[in-house]
């Protein structure tokens, strides 16, 4: 636990994923306590969070406001737990429905996901265990039943601080950052990360061009006169514009690489093996596929490639 400025604290919490930890942010002031993101619903996460709160003389029931950057499990997992203790949960309007679909109506989402993978050339053996993986993750997620929708541009007053909601789709359809204008601080969730590129994948039921959304979100973040950005993982980003420009260049390189691979028609699955040749576990390989597909659909919608199928094969326009 670390105090970033009076009334704002960083609370790192362990997660059983490659990123190792997720950063939560606690606001305290004017007799109010709020938490930005909640971590995954594991015993380890809850125990770590409970100890961090105790250092501040707080307990779970003191938290009356939950702000969520997006619906992914490492950020959203304990939202329903806090809602059950009386907290009000805020989530972007696009994420409200998506969170309900993913976590409360899994059969429809799983069927659509299965079809998406198969339609783009994924072999069935690569999908073995996908339902079991999703079921195991759902055991660790407590979705809120009645979240309050957030809208882009609205300003919340939370624990004595004013936070402007910045809609930053791409990593998730309804991903948001929160901008503390008076302090010059951005809380960017997974829209911007210090060490790695946030995953930008095309999944079942996502917006049609998540990479275009993501690049536009980076441009929007660059326009803000932020002194520092605190992210959902890793350390602070001291040069927001520079880091955003690095990520834009990174994705441009991937787009150019895909065009270079398309000497003959190929499926998204085949291209993902070229774009991400390293050895990956099954979940990692599915993330690589979704990211490859997002880049291919960007190229298609921009008129650079076409496709025929299913199973869909992409080729240069």
Whether 36 and 178 have beta carbons less than 8 Å apart is answered as yes
| Sign of the torsion formed by the C-alpha atoms of 37, 42, 48 and 54 | positive
The number of distinct structural domains making up the chain is 1
Instruction: Give the residue from 295, 294, 273 showing the smallest Cα distance to 284.
Output: 273
Pseudo-torsion of CA 119, 191, 234, 239, nearest 10°?
Answer: 140
Indicate which CATH number applies to the domain containing 26: 3.60.15.10
Whether 299 is covered by a domain: the verdict is no
Instruction: Please tell me the number of Cα atoms within 13 Å of 177 on its side-chain side.
Output: 30
What whole-number distance in Å separates Cα of residue 245 and Cα of residue 225?
A: 15
Instruction: Give the residue from 143, 147, 235 showing the smallest Cα distance to 188.
Output: 235
Partner residues linked to 5 by β-bridges: 8
Q: Residue 166 is part of which domain span?
A: 2-259
The reported pLDDT for the residue numbered 283 is 86
Instruction: Give the residue from 181, 235, 71 showing the smallest Cα distance to 243.
Output: 235
What whole-number distance in Å separates Cα of residue 6 and Cα of residue 4?
A: 7
* Per-residue pLDDT of the chain in tens (317 residues, 90 and over written 9): 999 999 999 999 999 999 999 999 999 999 999 999 999 999 999 999 999 999 999 999 999 999 999 999 999 999 999 999 999 999 999 999 888 888 888 888 889 999 999 999 999 888 887 778 888 888 999 999 999 999 999 999 999 999 999 999 999 999 999 999 999 999 999 999 999 999 999 999 999 999 999 999 999 999 999 999 999 999 999 999 999 999 999 999 999 999 999 999 999 999 999 999 999 988 899 999 999 999 999 999 999 999 999 999 999 99
Whether 166 is covered by a domain: the verdict is yes
Whether 133 and 95 have beta carbons less than 8 Å apart is answered as no
Q: How is residue 236 annotated by DSSP? A: -
What whole-number distance in Å separates Cα of residue 111 and Cα of residue 125?
A: 16
Neighbour tally for 153: CB within 10 Å = 9
Whether 280 is covered by a domain: the verdict is no
The pTM of this model reads 0.96
Q: What's the angle, vertex CA 33, arms to CA 30 and CA 36, rounded to 5? A: 130
Q: Parallel, antiparallel, or unpaired for β 65-67 and 88-92? A: parallel
Instruction: Give the residue from 8, 85, 18 showing the smallest Cα distance to 46.
Output: 85
């Amino acid at each position: 636990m670390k105090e970033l400025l009076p009334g704002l604290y960083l609370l790192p919490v362990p997660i059983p994923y490659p990123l190792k930890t997720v950063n939560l942010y606690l606001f305290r002031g004017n007799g109010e306590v709020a938490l930005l993101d909640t971590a995954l619903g594991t015993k380890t996460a809850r125990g770590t969070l409970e100890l961090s709160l105790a250092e501040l003389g707080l307990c779970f029931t003191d938290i009356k406001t939950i702000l969520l950057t997006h619906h992914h499990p490492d950020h959203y997992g304990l939202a329903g737990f806090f809602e059950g203790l009386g907290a009000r949960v805020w989530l972007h309007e696009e994420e409200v429905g998506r969170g309900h679909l993913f976590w409360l109506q899994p059969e429809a989402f799983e069927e659509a996901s299965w079809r998406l993978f198969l339609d783009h050339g994924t072999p069935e053996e690569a999908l073995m265990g996908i339902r079991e993986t999703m079921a195991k993750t759902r055991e660790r997620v407590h979705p809120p039943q009645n979240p309050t929708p957030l809208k882009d541009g609205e300003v919340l007053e939370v624990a004595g601080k004013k936070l402007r909601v910045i809609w930053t789709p791409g990593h998730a359809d309804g991903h948001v950052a929160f901008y503390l204008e008076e302090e010059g601080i951005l809380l960017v969730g997974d829209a911007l990360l210090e060490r790695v590129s946030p995953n930008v994948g095309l999944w079942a039921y996502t917006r049609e061009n998540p990479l275009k959304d993501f690049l536009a979100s980076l441009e929007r973040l660059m326009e803000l006169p932020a002194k520092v950005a605190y992210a959902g993982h890793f350390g602070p980003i001291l040069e927001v514009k520079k880091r955003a420009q690095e990520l834009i260049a990174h994705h441009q390189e991937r787009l150019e690489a895909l065009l270079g691979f398309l000497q003959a028609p190929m499926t998204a699955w085949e291209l993902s093996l070229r774009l991400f040749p390293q050895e990956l576990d099954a979940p990692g390989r599915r993330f690589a596929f979704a990211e490859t597909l997002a880049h291919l659909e960007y190229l298609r919608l921009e008129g650079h490639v076409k496709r025929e199928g299913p199973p869909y094969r992409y080729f240069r326009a």
